[in-house]
Structure 1
Amino acid sequence: MADTHQLCTRLIAALEDLASQEATSLAHGEWDTLVSLRKRAEPLVELLASQDPEEIDSSLRARIGAWREGRLAAERELSVRIGTVRERLEELDASRRRLARVIPAYVPRPEVESRHLAGVG
């Protein structure tokens, strides 16, 4: 049991550290870093989940619960930001379509030069 407790303590400490880095990346819009940190956390989560729950004491359960709540909050924040970006992209797309409709009225069409071929020869 001591080995499991020690392993779980190290795993949750590493996950807490990654969560702190994720929060910073999210706050600064460092999306590549955020994805990288999430990928680094995956094997730790899998290893933690593979441990016998009976051997995890209440203090570790509390830390795991707090980490999970933080992760869920970060996911909600990320969803909000994704929604905001989507809305902005839709606004830009609508502006682009409006511009495409009105631009012909403001940009003169090039005059076509009529060239008459003079008799050669």
Structure 2
Amino acid sequence: MDLVEDKSRIGVCIDTCHAMAAGFDLSTQAGFDGMIDDFERIIGFEWLVALHLNDSKGEAGCHLDRHETIGKGKIGVEGFKRIMNCKHFTDIPMVLETPFNDGNQSYTKEIKLLNSLSITSQ
């Protein structure tokens, strides 16, 4: 990013499955805090423009990008509760990027679940 001259045209997206595969155990508070701390130190939240939401079929550090339905993978519901209530993720687009299992019914359920985890929606 330091080599980009016109920085008005760049931004960064966090993908929850990718973070898990890279070794941040988002199912735990310590793993989530580690990701947040590293992101702030290395990149900076001023560059965060989006979040891809997907659970992970693999364990933390597995180096495999295998998306799973929200709440059915290794990140789990508690992990997504942290994500949905993180102050750094308010007012940015969140893209649901989970497997297409049961058609729109599945996505509707996942979106309702994610919304229910947000303290501001309660």
TM-score w.r.t. the length of structure 1 is 0.28
- Greater relative contact order (CA < 8 Å, ≥ 6 in sequence): 1
Structure number with greater Rg is 1
- Which structure carries more helix by proportion? 1
TM-score by length of 2: 0.28
